[in-house]
Amino acid sequence: MIAGILLFAGFLLLVRAELGTRATETPTDMMAGGEAMMSARRVVAVVAHPDDAEYWISGTLSLLGKAGARVVLVVASNGEKGPNKVGADNLALARQEEQRAAGRIMGYDEILFLDLPDRSVVQDRDLNRKLTDVLLRENADLVITFDGFKPQMPYLHPDHEALGRVARSAALELATKPALYLFHTRRPNIAVDISSVADAKIAAFAAHRSQHGGDSREGPVKANRAAGARYGLPPAELFRAVRQVMQ
């Protein structure tokens, strides 16, 4: 009986360790990796819905642009099944406009909408090819997308993880071997200090009025502060580098 209890307790500890978020590098190395990330010059970020970028990675994308990179955002779905707190007649078009407004605030160079169905983006059998075409067209040296294999718990979304897996495959299959960084990950090894663009990130997230009514929303930046504080760092967006930027 006691042996069984101990075995079960050990199993629970293993599950907790696997599903919990844990950095795999020292804070100093994580920050150094974030600084090295800024040397990329042709960046393609792949997200599932309008507002995904603004929540998780807009600070990093803005800093990359300020450092001289061309930043292209690919949005797979228009998020037409999400909230509609502004009563838009056509939510898909409204969310595209919100994404464009947010992109202007953060300085993205181009936004591409794939117009795939919300909550079932990977039903498109040509998704890998479409993403590959964008990466080749842009000659991307850095690809950023969701972590489809080790997403940060507890929040999960079928579009996020599925898209992350397809985008990861597309990037790793390229002969040009672009760097690949994954966000919303429970195994971060890269940290980007977003202190200097935190106010812009708040404003960009607020542009997604259909999702939260237009009020200023500091939730993403609060999450960045908490993420940084966990490792003794400033407000940070965290990533898992699968293949790192080569300086």
pLDDT tens figures, 177-224: 999 999 999 999 999 999 999 999 999 999 999 998 866 688 999 999
The parent domain of residue 189 ranges over: 33-243
Token duo for residue 42: 């042709």
Could you give the number of structural domains in the chain? 1
3-state DSSP assignment of residue 234: coil
Count other Cβ atoms within 10 Å, centred on residue 193. 20
CATH number of the domain encompassing residue 201: 3.40.50.10320
pLDDT digits (tens, 9 = 90+) for 221-243: 999 999 999 999 999 999 999 99
Token duo for residue 73: 């955002």
Q: Which amino acid is at 204?
A: A
Residue 5 lies in a domain: no
pTM of the model: 0.92
Residue 71 lies in a domain: yes
- Contact between 151 and 186 (Cβ < 8 Å): yes
Count other Cβ atoms within 10 Å, centred on residue 179. 21
pLDDT digits (tens, 9 = 90+) for 6-51: 454 443 344 455 689 999 999 999 999 999 999 999 999 999 999 9
Residue 21 lies in a domain: no
Residue 51 lies in a domain: yes
Residue 16 lies in a domain: no
pLDDT score at 147: 97
Q: Which amino acid is at 129?
A: R
Q: What's the number of CA atoms in the CB half-sphere (13 Å) around residue 111?
A: 30
Residue 110 lies in a domain: yes
For residue 231, what is the enclosing H or E element? none
Residue 58 lies in a domain: yes
Residue 28 lies in a domain: no
Share in percent of the chain as helix, strand, coil (round to 5): 50, 20, 35
